[in-house]
Every structure is written in C-alpha cells, then in structure tokens.
C-alpha cells in the first residue's frame, strides 16, 4: 500500500518537474522524487505486526527490517546538501539571466550561442 | 491554449502508465519477507548496539556511512565556494522583537539538548548522529533569526568552524581506517562492546555518532550561513 | 492502521496542492507540510530514526534554505534603464531624481530598495512577469500600452525629440556626434543604441529616433552636434511602471507622490538635478 503511494508520489514529482516552468518549483519536485524513493525503501522493510528495530537482549518480538532504514538515513541528509548545491546553481542562473523561468533562460542561451558564431568543425 | 492542455494530459497519461507499470511489476514480485532477517538473525552482541539500525550503518556498513559523510562535505564545500563572493558583506544589525528572543532563549537550548541526546544515546534509542547534527544546526538557526546574523557570527566564527569541520572529518577517517593497520578489525574493535542497552556499549559506535553529529552540524550551519550572507540578511 | 492509511491517502493530495501553487513561497510551505506528514508516516511504519531525520531536515532546514534563496520578501525591486539625471551610476553610487524619489518611497513603505540596471526592453518584460516591482529610468509611457502595465502619475514633465534623418548629410559614413559619444561616454552607449545600430549597419535611420529630454540633454553635454532636432507635439512626462495587479503598491505610490508635490519637495529635488 505504501509502495503504491510511493509510486504515485514519484509520478507527481516527475509531472511537476516537466510541467512547471519555474526552476525553484522544479527543485521542489526533485525533492518530492527523493521523498518518494525513500518512502518506497521504508515500505519494503515493513512487516505485519512488527515493531521498531530497537531490541534489548532477551527480547524476542518480530522486528521491522533495519537494512532499508539504515540505507536511507544518511541519504536524507546527503539529499539536503545536494539540494542546497542545486539551489545555489539556480540562484547563479537567475542572477545571470534575470529570470527563473526555464523556457526564458533557454531562449536567452540560444540567443547567446547564435550571436557568438563560434567556429566549429 | 488547447494545445497546452493536450500536452499536459499526454504527460499525465505517460507518467501514469509508467508508474502503473512499475507498481504492477512490484506487486507481482514482492520481496520475500524472509530476506529481511539477514541482519536480524545475527546476535545482538556482535555489534553491541540496541538500535539495530545504528548497528548496521555504523558497524556492518561503516564505509558506506563514511562515504556519505564525504559526499556531504563536498556538497557543503561546493555551496560555500559558489557563494564565496558574499563573504565580506556588511550585514545590517537586525534582530527580532523581544517575544521572539524570549521564545528562542528556551527553545534553542532544548533543541541543543535533543541533539546531545540523539548523539550520545544513538546506539540505544532512535536518533543517531545525522539527526543530531541537523537538530543542532536548526537550533543555531533559531538563535540567528532572533538575534541577527552579525551577533551569531561573532560567536560562531565561520573560519574556525570550517577548520573544525576538517579536523572532525580527519579524525573520523583515522578512527575508521587506522585499526586496520594496527591489526584489529577496521571497524569498531577499538573500544570494547559492553552489554547492549548500556550507555558504554557497542564499541566505537558512540564515538562515531558524536563525530558525525558535529560534522553534520557544522556543515549544515555553514550552508545556512552562506545562504544568509548571500541574501544580505537573515 | 487506520491512521496510517489516512495519512498515506493524504500525501498525494498535499503533494499535488503544494506543487501546483503559482507562488513560490506557497509551494515551499506546502512542501514543508508534506515533509511533516511524511515524517508521521515513517513513524507509523516503525522507522523512528528516519522519521526524526526527515522531520528536522524537511520541515526546518529545507524550508529555511528555500526561503533564504527567494529574496523577494522585504524588498522593493526596481529595474531601471540608465538615464542621466534621473537614475544613473556614478562610480559606486547611484544618483538622480528618480533615485531620490524611490529612496523616499521605499523608506515610507518600509522595504529595502534594490535597483538593477537592465536594458529598456527588459524592464517591460520583467514587470510583465512579476520579477520586479517597479520600472524606472526615464520611461515615457506612450499612449498605447500593454494592458497589464500601468504607469504611475508623472513626476517630471518631459518631451519627446526626434532626429529627422533627412537632415543628416549622406556623405558621412558615421555621423560625427555619434562617434564622439562612443568615445567620450562609453557608459551612455546603451541609450543611443538605436542610433548606433543603424550606424553600424551602414544605413541611416529613415524614421526618426525619439529620445526624451534627459537623454537629449546628456547628448548635448557630450558636445555632439544634433541635427534636425524637432520636438513632437503633445505633453509627455516621466513616470514609473508598475504591474496592473499591484493595486496596493500603486495606491501607496500615488499617495506618496501627491505628498511630495504638495509639500514642495518635488520641486526641490528637480531643481537639484536639473538646474
């Protein structure tokens, strides 16, 4: 069930990434894709009627699989740092082209390339 | 206008079909629950950590965690490099109203306490070094919001923090890799594993949690400071 | 069990709402709410470590970083075309009549003034797309304007001057005045780009180039010889550009300008720059 919601969120993230023009919203959509992937990881470790993976000696309850959680834990923090880096690039782009509209930036870049007339093979 | 709607519907249709296919294939080949017992089948005394998750990412898969910390450091380095031109800006001396300052004066130490709890008890209860570092960074963020960036920078000098960050990274590397040269297992054999559930158990996991907490705290705070300086105020 | 299903069903709804917001700030806050819901879901799926980490990072730090990156709050963003006497750079400072007016206005509404110099055609585009609050720089709104731009009340009367091409001698490949401008005042090259483009192509403008009063005065100060200067009929005046939707900003500015005019401060400012 949660896996299906993860796929739906992934789809929503991709749609927002493609359909929205604003670069900042595109970054938010990438964050959503991250969140969907992490939700999927957590959901495959979950079992019926299990408990959190904290176990004292002598405890014999069924535990949730701890491996996906371990994989995902540091991924969340690293995603944050990478997101900050991507946001810095968006800020630099915006200062250079005075816009956060991706279509507009593409047009400006195309215009610059046209004007320069660099020699090519 | 009509063309844009058709394009949107087409995009939605394609993504829905893709997501549906993936969901279908997942449902048909669901993972075997017995696979999940690989790490749970191992006895608790192997790692000594009550928190099974900490036992995995700080014992069995320690090098993974080390590389993640490295990636984090590189990202922080990148952010600071690209925002370096705003290093010497004169910030306005802003600070918020007394209400905010009073609120922060008891919220921020609470957050710091939470950070220390997660870092020190990370191998017994949920938490761990990463969450601890992030909570400490947000505690400092509250202080910066309430008292202004200049006052915060005066007490937490970014140059010294950057130096401390590198020192912590170096000591983390040493802790992890040196035991291999000394003849012990290159993971957590440096300190003894007590009984699980005690504070001083699980070998070096305690040290790793604290080091990672400090590292993530400094990294996240430097990123926030770089953004705040670039903006010109907090 | 039920709580988990309710939260899981709520997640895509919040996601769609958050990512379909037109304003960036609303989308950021929506994603913060999404993060909190996600943390609750992680908790209900027996993953407390992940829940704590996601809650702090998604709700506190990511939102803080995005808000710090979006600089619109608290600023009055003005995009200006450089116009001598009205708003121009001199070394590190900005001087001019419009600059003084804008400084007073920003102080009154309690915002920080932030001025960017861009070419004239960008000014209109930026205001159209809500990237900037006001447009300045010796703009004379002519009769036919785009429907979503509105100009403020005029602050200084001006005129529109045309150069008649017929009067320029055809032999000169490069009219003398233009050459002098390009040499002595390279900063001003932007204003006279029409003339210079025509000059570069080797043709002479058949339709006259219109310049407003401030730029004509600047041209005159560089010592260029102006041929066939002709003033167009009609009353024109300098004004700022504000988007049609910013009703409050327009109202604030109209009130501020009336106060300036009534108290005589506008006269003083004009005298200081255009004596």
Q: What does the pLDDT look like over C31-53, one tens digit per residue?
A: 999 999 999 999 999 899 999 99
B184 or A26, which is more confident? Answer: A26
A53: phi then psi, degrees, rounded to nearest 5: -80, 55
Q: Per-residue pLDDT for A32 more than 80? A: yes
Spatial separation of the C-alpha atoms in residues C132 and B60, rounded to whole Å: 54
Of A52, A73, A87, the CB nearest to B130: A73
pLDDT in tens, B58-92: 888 888 899 999 999 999 999 999 988 765 566 66
Q: Give residues with Cβ within 8 angstroms of C234, minimum separation 6.
A: C160
- Predicted confidence band of residue C122 (pLDDT cuts 50, 70, 90): confident
CA atoms within 13 A on the CB side of C168: 25
Among C72, C104, C133, the domain-final residue is C72
Asked if C16's CB is within 8 angstroms of A76's CB, the reply is no
B230 or C34, which is more confident? Answer: C34
Chain C contact set for A84 (CB, 8 A): 65
Q: Are residues C200 and C142 in the same domain?
A: yes
Asked if B127's CB is within 8 angstroms of C61's CB, the reply is no
Asked if B138's CB is within 8 angstroms of C56's CB, the reply is yes
Asked if B197's CB is within 8 angstroms of A54's CB, the reply is no
Roughly how many angstroms between the first and final C-alpha of chain B, as a whole number?
41
Q: Are residues C210 and C105 in the same domain?
A: yes
Among C72, C96, C117, the domain-final residue is C72
Q: Per-residue pLDDT for B124 more than 90? A: no
Q: What is the ipTM of this complex?
A: 0.89
Alpha helices in chain C (DSSP H): 2-19, 24-44, 48-54, 63-69, 97-109, 120-128, 176-184, 193-201, 213-221, 247-263, 265-273
- Burial label for B9, CB within 10 Å (0-12, 13-18, 19+), is exposed
- C60: nearest Cα among B142, B201, B175, A23: B142
Spatial separation of the C-alpha atoms in residues C32 and C22, rounded to whole Å: 16
- B175: nearest Cα among B164, B159, B165, B190: B190
Mean confidence (pLDDT) of chain C = 72
pLDDT in tens, A52-67: 788 777 777 788 888 8
Residue of B nearest to C48 (CA): B126
pLDDT of C165 reads: 36
Q: Is residue A68 a contact partner of residue B31, using CB atoms and an 8 Å limit?
A: no
Of A24, A76, A83, the CB nearest to C70: A24
How many Cβ pairs within 8 Å bridge chains A and B?
128
Spatial separation of the C-alpha atoms in residues C239 and C254, rounded to whole Å: 11
pLDDT of C71 reads: 64
Asked if A53's CB is within 8 angstroms of C46's CB, the reply is yes
DSSP bridge pairs for C210: C162
Q: Is residue C249 a contact partner of residue C148, using CB atoms and an 8 Å limit?
A: no
Q: Are residues C135 and C206 in the same domain?
A: yes
- Burial label for B38, CB within 10 Å (0-12, 13-18, 19+), is exposed
Asked if C11's CB is within 8 angstroms of A9's CB, the reply is yes
Q: Which domain holds residue C34?
A: 2-72
Mean pLDDT of C129-142: 73
Q: Are residues C15 and C95 in the same domain?
A: no
pLDDT of B23 reads: 82
Q: Are residues C111 and C246 in the same domain?
A: yes
Provide the angle, in degrees to the nearest 10, between the axes of the packed helices B158-182 and B205-231.
150
Spatial separation of the C-alpha atoms in residues B1 and C112, rounded to whole Å: 38
A76: phi then psi, degrees, rounded to nearest 5: -65, -45
Q: Per-residue pLDDT for B202 more than 90? A: no
Q: Please report, rounded to a whole number, the percentage of residues in chain A having pLDDT higher than 90.
A: 38
Of B38, B44, B130, the CB nearest to A77: B130
Q: Per-residue pLDDT for A76 more than 60? A: yes
Q: Is residue C73 a contact partner of residue C130, using CB atoms and an 8 Å limit?
A: no
Q: Are residues C201 and C139 in the same domain?
A: yes
For residue C257, the SS3 value is: helix
Q: Per-residue pLDDT for B206 more than 80? A: yes
Asked if C53's CB is within 8 angstroms of B138's CB, the reply is no
Mean pLDDT of B38-67: 84
A57 or B20, which is more confident? Answer: B20
Chain C contact set for A73 (CB, 8 A): 49-50, 53
Q: Are residues C212 and C226 in the same domain?
A: yes
Complete DSSP assignment for C109-136: HT-EEEEEE--HHHHHHHHHTTS-SEEE
pLDDT of C208 reads: 42
DSSP A94: H
Q: Are residues C91 and C102 in the same domain?
A: yes
Q: Is residue C94 a contact partner of residue C129, using CB atoms and an 8 Å limit?
A: no
Mean pLDDT of C2-30: 90
For residue C206, the SS3 value is: coil
Q: Is residue C78 a contact partner of residue C134, using CB atoms and an 8 Å limit?
A: yes
- Predicted confidence band of residue C110 (pLDDT cuts 50, 70, 90): low
Q: Per-residue pLDDT for C202 more than 60? A: no
Q: Are residues C62 and C90 in the same domain?
A: no
Of C53, C61, C71, the CB nearest to B138: C61
Mean pLDDT of C122-136: 77
Q: Are residues C129 and C223 in the same domain?
A: yes
C64: contact with A, CB 8 A cutoff: no
B83: phi then psi, degrees, rounded to nearest 5: -105, 25
Q: Are residues C148 and C252 in the same domain?
A: yes
- Predicted confidence band of residue B131 (pLDDT cuts 50, 70, 90): very high
Q: Per-residue pLDDT for C222 more than 60? A: no
Phi-psi sector, B188: left (phi>0), alpha (psi -120 to 50), beta: alpha
Q: Is residue C83 a contact partner of residue C138, using CB atoms and an 8 Å limit?
A: yes
B neighbour chains, 3+ CB pairs within 8 Å: A, C
B53: contact with C, CB 8 A cutoff: yes
B15: contact with A, CB 8 A cutoff: yes
Tally of structural domains, chain C: 2
Among C72, C101, C121, the domain-final residue is C72
Tell me how far CA of residue C82 lies from CA of A99, B163, C89, C103, C241, in angstroms: 20, 45, 8, 16, 15
Q: Are residues C261 and C220 in the same domain?
A: yes
A105 or C140, which is more confident? Answer: A105
Of B53, B126, B231, the CB nearest to C68: B231
Chain B contact set for A19 (CB, 8 A): 8, 11
Spatial separation of the C-alpha atoms in residues B147 and C250, rounded to whole Å: 34
Complete DSSP assignment for B75-108: HHHHHHHHTGGGGG---------HHHHHHHHHHH
Q: Is residue B234 a contact partner of residue B149, using CB atoms and an 8 Å limit?
A: yes
pLDDT of C184 reads: 45
CATH at residue C259: 3.40.190.10
A76: contact with C, CB 8 A cutoff: yes
Q: Which helix or strand (DSSP H or E) is residue A31 part of?
A: helix A23-45
């Amino acid at each position: 069930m949660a896996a299906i919601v993860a796929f739906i969120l992934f789809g929503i993230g991709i749609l927002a990434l493609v359909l929205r023009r604003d670069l900042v919203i595109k970054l938010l959509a990438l964050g959503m894709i991250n969140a969907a992937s992490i939700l999927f990881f957590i959901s495959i470790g979950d079992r019926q009627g299990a408990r959190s993976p904290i176990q004292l000696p002598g405890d014999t309850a069924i535990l949730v699989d701890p491996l996906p959680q371990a994989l995902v834990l540091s991924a969340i923090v690293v995603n944050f740092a990478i997101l900050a880096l991507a946001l810095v690039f968006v800020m630099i782009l915006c200062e250079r082209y005075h816009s956060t509209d991706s279509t507009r930036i593409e047009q400006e870049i195309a215009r610059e390339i046209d004007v320069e007339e660099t020699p090519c093979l | 206008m009509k063309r844009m709607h058709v394009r949107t519907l087409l995009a939605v249709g394609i993504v829905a079909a893709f997501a549906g296919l993936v969901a279908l294939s997942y449902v048909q080949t669901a993972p075997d629950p017995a696979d999940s017992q690989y790490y749970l089948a191992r006895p608790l005394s192997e790692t000594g950590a009550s928190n099974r998750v900490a036992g995995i990412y700080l014992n069995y898969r320690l090098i993974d965690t080390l590389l993640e910390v490295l990636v984090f450091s590189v990202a922080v380095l990148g952010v600071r490099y690209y925002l370096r031109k705003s290093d010497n800006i004169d910030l306005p001396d802003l600070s918020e109203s007394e209400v905010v300052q009073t609120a922060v004066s008891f919220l921020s130490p609470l957050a710091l306490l939470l950070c220390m709890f997660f870092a020190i008890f990370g191998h017994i209860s949920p938490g761990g070094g990463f969450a601890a570092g992030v909570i400490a960074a947000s505690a400092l963020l509250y202080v910066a919001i309430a008292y202004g960036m200049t006052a915060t920078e005066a007490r937490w000098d970014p140059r010294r923090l950057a130096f401390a960050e590198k020192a912590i990274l170096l000591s983390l590397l040493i802790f992890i890799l040196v035991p291999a040269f000394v003849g012990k297992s290159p993971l957590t054999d440096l300190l003894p594993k007590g009984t699980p559930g005690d504070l001083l158990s699980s070998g070096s996991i305690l040290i790793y949690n604290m080091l990672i907490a400090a590292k993530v705290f400094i990294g996240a705070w430097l990123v926030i400071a770089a953004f705040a300086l670039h903006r010109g105020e907090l | 069990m039920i709580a988990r299903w309710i939260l899981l069903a709520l997640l895509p709804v919040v996601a769609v709402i958050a990512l379909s917001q037109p304003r960036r700030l609303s989308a950021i806050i929506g994603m913060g709410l999404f993060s909190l819901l996600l943390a609750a879901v992680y908790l209900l799926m027996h993953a407390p470590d992940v829940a704590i980490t996601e809650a702090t990072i998604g709700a506190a730090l990511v939102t803080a970083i995005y808000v710090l990156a979006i600089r619109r709050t608290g600023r009055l963003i003005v995009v200006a075309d450089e116009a001598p006497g009205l708003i121009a750079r001199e070394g590190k400072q900005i001087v001019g009549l419009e600059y003084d007016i804008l400084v007073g206005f920003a102080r009154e509404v309690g915002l920080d003034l932030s001025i960017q110099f861009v070419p004239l055609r960008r000014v209109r585009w930026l205001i159209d797309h809500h990237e900037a609050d006001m447009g300045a720089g010796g703009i004379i709104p002519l009769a036919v304007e785009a429907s979503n731009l509105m100009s403020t009340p005029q602050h200084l009367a001006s005129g529109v001057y045309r150069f008649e091409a017929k009067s320029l001698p055809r032999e000169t490949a490069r009219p003398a005045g233009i050459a002098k401008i390009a040499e002595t005042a390279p900063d001003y090259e932007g204003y006279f780009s029409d003339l210079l483009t025509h000059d570069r192509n080797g043709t002479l403008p058949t339709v006259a180039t219109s310049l407003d009063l401030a730029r004509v005065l600047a041209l005159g100060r560089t010592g260029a010889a102006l041929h066939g200067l002709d003033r167009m009929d009609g009353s024109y005046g300098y004004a700022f550009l504000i988007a049609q939707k910013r009703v409050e900003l327009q109202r604030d500015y109209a009130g501020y300008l009336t106060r300036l005019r009534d108290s005589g401060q506008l006269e003083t400012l004009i005298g200081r720059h255009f004596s």
